[in-house]
Structure 1
Amino acid sequence: MAEAEVRETWGGPELRGLWEGAREALESPKRPDRFGVALPDEATRAAVSAVYGRALHLGHSRIMLAKLDRVVREQAGLDLPRVLEALHGRPVAEPGPTGAETTAADPALAALAAHGLDRAPWAEPWLRWLHQYGRIAEAELPAAAARAAAVLAALDLDPARTPASWVSRADLAAPDAPHELDDGGALSRIVLRAAALAHDVDPPGNARERQALWERCGVVVDAVAGSVLTWALPLTGADAWSRSITERTALALPAQLSHRDLAVAPERLVAPDTAIAVCETPRVLEAAVRAGIRHPLVCLAGPPPPVALELLRRLRADGARLRYHGDFDWPGLALAGSLWSEHGAGPWRMSAADYREALDRAARDRADLPNLVGSPVGSPWDPQLADLMSTAARAVEEETVLPALLADLRDRAL
């Protein structure tokens, strides 16, 4: 936008508080990473929400400077200081020196630069926060910043990308300090603050939010607690680990694989072109075990945990053919779409024709199907499926079509 267009588009009274708050924050010697804005009426709330790219609530909201700068760059092609200069007719004043953080000798900035992170969008607000609120003694700052930068360099900090692989939090810690990233520690606190800025989310306030943020960055907080349920994986290795899994199959016992299992497993798990069935609910796997059907099967048990996604990634890298079946509901379609686009998992009886057949069978058997609730999602592998589901407004749970799934597994018809 030209300056005149900026004033015409964003110069209304509803946005005055937003721009004044942004200028005050940028010119403040404390250089906060966010500021408050009052949203006293619907017109102001709607106008600020439209600029910020997020639905805000009436009353009062917190605005992250880094996000606001990013959205105005995307919409206007100008950074936030230039937008404010166009709106107010004067440049944004540089804040006065506040200490070591403004000097070239800043150890935290040097630590980020050593890993190529000093120009990341989140770097500047994180540095301001670290010096202002990080609660790290000046004498300890060089070592703390160096460790934080090393950990951050190993994280997935791109908010537009889902992690392609996973690492245990314990493996990120220094060998002589295995608990340095545990909850409550200084290093964990400052690393997660940078991760929150990078992913444009609020800093985590409890254990569940901290775990979610770690996982968003490709880190599992516990390498042994989370697991994925598997059955009859045709492992190619002759090592003790592979034999232990194969022996469980011989005993008609599924295997729960943790991140620790995958960490010690051989590099190659299965032969190329191995067909692997992937289901959503454990009932499918249980039925296959009870029926003595030894077709390889991975059960996600709902939204897949990181260890399940890591296993699918490794199987796919081995050249395995993944085929997924789940519930015919909106979460099931969302999961199918994610596995289809990110893990190359083709649909397994997840077409519009399969859904129609399930509806017809339920009508013939006078079986009740639950209502389809939630927000519709697409089915890019078969666009007619989502349309038909919206029209029929009935969900079909995976157990409803269990006989057909077992027949495919028995006949190896995937």
Structure 2
Amino acid sequence: MSDAENIRAVWDTAELRGLWARAREILESPEQPATFRLELPDEDTRKAVGEVYGRPMWGQGTRINVSKLDTQLRENTRFGLGLEQVLEILHDRPIDRRESPTAARAERRDRVTDVLHAALAEQNLAEQPWARPWMQWLHQYGRVAESELDSVARQAAAVLARLVLDPGHSPRTWISRAELAARCGGGAHRLDSGMTLSRVVLRAAALAHGVEAPANERDRRRLWELCGVTLDAVSATALCWALPLVGSDEWSRGVRGRTELGLPAQLTHLDLGVAPEHLVEAGTTVAVCENPRVLEAAVRDGIRHPLVCVSGHPSTIVTELLHRLGADGAALRYHGDFDWAGLTIARSLWNHHGAGPWRMAAADYRAALNQASAERIDLPVLTGEPAEAPWDPELPELMSTAGRAIEEEVVLDDLLTDLRTGLG
């Protein structure tokens, strides 16, 4: 008889089958504990197990040490085979060793880290302060399928390389989310809300800018725009009038043609994407107002002074247009409401675009107060947190003392007179 036949003849008995079954469970267990509990229901079982294990057995059960059982089989039985070999012979199948969850998690973490680090390094982003916490988050919570990990890592790194991720810098130009996805993400919809690539990129962007991860569509839009990305290239518009475009191309002629028709232009990011590099001559004075009512009045009166309306807080397209005009050497002059929001807008345009004030000094506010009083105009109460006016520190103090807000419509006639005579 062969050794295998002898082993089956000696150890494949009813009294030992519980021992072998429990031993196999342990060897195939992902955790592989060092010992296991074995029931000993009768004297025959206690005697058989005791002979194999090398010590007498008492009671209804005992604890078996796996390592000791393996050593006993190898060194103190006539077959000289280890536990795994004995079980494979008795059960006629190999031990199915399963990786422990801890080891599997460690291997997964190492693979995620290696793949992400390599993708970031290719874009010179691996040493950014947000990179390591982003990789840790993606391993724990990113929910990226193993089959997609390589492509998602590569595409995410390509997208991140094109974002404004320095919280100390504001975007000067914007790209639409669909265009960015098409360039870097393998398809125009890959960065749409709900897509895996969008989720992992926005987490990196939030870490880079030190903000909470976006929880709704409004927060996602705000974070995208903070990084220089618009959700689309057509919804945001810049309301313009009489821009003296210098280009001879069809687009420039089209915008000038609207002025000839007495119509303002609503420029989008798509417009600026096809516009010529230079828009206006250096030294061109461009008025900037806060409320569309001012631009409407200029159009109605046929006053062809270049005018851009920010319509409240400047949108991405307004910001990009003003940057383009400033880069051409245009002189930007801003007027807005005399309230804290108006001063905040004016300060932002002053800081980021070099836009000088247009009738936005303390003397102008005082004159507008007197005008409103003489014309019996009811002025709204000034509310909110005070804002600074670096071009005239006296202005916020005077506004706080007077406690009244003055909208652009109150001084509309003065603004139109300035546009007729020029702001230069």
Q: Do they superpose with TM above 0.5? A: yes
Cα distance in 1 between the residues matched to 2:335 and 2:423: 13
The reply to whether residue 387 of structure 1 matches residue 397 of structure 2 is: yes
Query: Which residue of 2 is the match for residue 118 of structure 1?
Result: 126
Alignment counterpart, residue 312 of structure 1, candidates 313, 318, 322: 322
Query: Which residue of 1 is the match for residue 138 of structure 2?
Result: 130
Alignment counterpart, residue 346 of structure 1, candidates 347, 356, 374: 356
The aligned runs of 1:84-95 (5 Å cut-off) are none
* Mapped contact 1:352–1:388 kept (Cα < 8 A): yes
Cα distance in 1 between the residues matched to 2:269 and 2:111: 43
Cα distance in 2 between the residues matched to 1:321 and 1:381: 16
Cα distance in 2 between the residues matched to 1:147 and 1:105: 16
Larger Rg: 2
Query: Which residue of 2 is the match for residue 249 of structure 1?
Result: 259
Amino acid in the other structure paired with 2:399: M
Query: Which residue of 2 is the match for residue 146 of structure 1?
Result: 154
* Mapped contact 2:236–2:269 kept (Cα < 8 A): yes
When the two chains are superposed, the root-mean-square deviation of aligned CA atoms in Å is 1.6
* Mapped contact 1:328–1:355 kept (Cα < 8 A): yes
The reply to whether residue 330 of structure 1 matches residue 371 of structure 2 is: no
Would the alpha carbon gap of residues 214 and 104 (structure 1) be closer, same or farther in structure 2, given more than 3 Å must change? closer
Amino acid in the other structure paired with 2:127: R
Q: Secondary structure at the match of 2:106?
A: coil
* Mapped contact 1:148–1:191 kept (Cα < 8 A): yes
Alignment counterpart, residue 171 of structure 1, candidates 172, 175, 179: 179
* Mapped contact 1:228–1:258 kept (Cα < 8 A): yes
Alignment counterpart, residue 237 of structure 2, candidates 227, 244, 256: 227
Alignment counterpart, residue 194 of structure 1, candidates 187, 204, 213: 204
Cα distance in 1 between the residues matched to 2:358 and 2:197: 45
* Mapped contact 1:232–1:249 kept (Cα < 8 A): yes
Would the alpha carbon gap of residues 413 and 105 (structure 1) be closer, same or farther in structure 2, given more than 3 Å must change? closer
Shift of 1:131: 1.3
Amino acid in the other structure paired with 1:263: G
* Mapped contact 1:100–1:106 kept (Cα < 8 A): no
Cα distance in 2 between the residues matched to 1:341 and 1:129: 36
Amino acid in the other structure paired with 2:116: A
Shift of 1:368: 1.1
Shift of 1:142: 1.3
Query: Which residue of 2 is the match for residue 402 of structure 1?
Result: 412
* CA deviation vs aligned residue, 1:41-99 (integer Å, no higher than 9, x gap): xxxxxxxxxxxxxxxxxxxxxxxxxxxxxxxxxxxxxxxxxxxxxxxxxxxxxx99823
Cα distance in 1 between the residues matched to 2:265 and 2:173: 21
Cα distance in 2 between the residues matched to 1:254 and 1:114: 46
Q: Secondary structure at the match of 1:230?
A: strand
Amino acid in the other structure paired with 1:164: R
Cα distance in 1 between the residues matched to 2:180 and 2:174: 11
Cα distance in 2 between the residues matched to 1:99 and 1:278: 58
* CA deviation vs aligned residue, 1:148-168 (integer Å, no higher than 9, x gap): 011001101112322222111
Shift of 1:173: 1.4
The aligned runs of 1:252-291 (5 Å cut-off) are 252-291=262-301
Cα distance in 1 between the residues matched to 2:394 and 2:109: 57
* Mapped contact 2:234–2:268 kept (Cα < 8 A): yes
Query: Which residue of 2 is the match for residue 217 of structure 1?
Result: 227
Shift of 1:103: 6.4
Cα distance in 2 between the residues matched to 1:256 and 1:105: 46
* Mapped contact 1:111–1:145 kept (Cα < 8 A): yes
Q: Secondary structure at the match of 1:174?
A: helix
Alignment counterpart, residue 114 of structure 2, candidates 103, 106, 113: 106
Query: Which residue of 2 is the match for residue 238 of structure 1?
Result: 248
Quote the sequence identity (%): 60
* Mapped contact 1:168–1:223 kept (Cα < 8 A): yes
Unaligned runs of 5+ in 2: 1-101
* CA deviation vs aligned residue, 1:101-122 (integer Å, no higher than 9, x gap): 3469711111111112112121
* Mapped contact 2:112–2:139 kept (Cα < 8 A): no
* Mapped contact 1:101–1:127 kept (Cα < 8 A): no
* Mapped contact 1:223–1:260 kept (Cα < 8 A): yes
Structure 1's consecutive aligned runs of 4 or more residues displaced over 3 angstroms after TM superposition are: 100-105
Paired positions, count: 320
Shift of 1:179: 1.2
Amino acid in the other structure paired with 2:241: W
* Mapped contact 2:322–2:353 kept (Cα < 8 A): yes
Query: Which residue of 2 is the match for residue 65 of structure 1?
Result: none
* CA deviation vs aligned residue, 1:280-339 (integer Å, no higher than 9, x gap): 000000000000100000001001110000000000000000000000000100110010
Query: Which residue of 2 is the match for residue 157 of structure 1?
Result: 165
Amino acid in the other structure paired with 2:379: L
Q: Secondary structure at the match of 1:106?
A: helix
Amino acid in the other structure paired with 1:247: G
Cα distance in 2 between the residues matched to 1:377 and 1:99: 54
Query: Which residue of 2 is the match for residue 55 of structure 1?
Result: none
Query: Which residue of 1 is the match for residue 86 of structure 2?
Result: none
* Mapped contact 2:112–2:149 kept (Cα < 8 A): no
* CA deviation vs aligned residue, 1:330-368 (integer Å, no higher than 9, x gap): 010011001001101000000000000001111122211
Q: Secondary structure at the match of 1:278?
A: strand
Amino acid in the other structure paired with 1:268: H
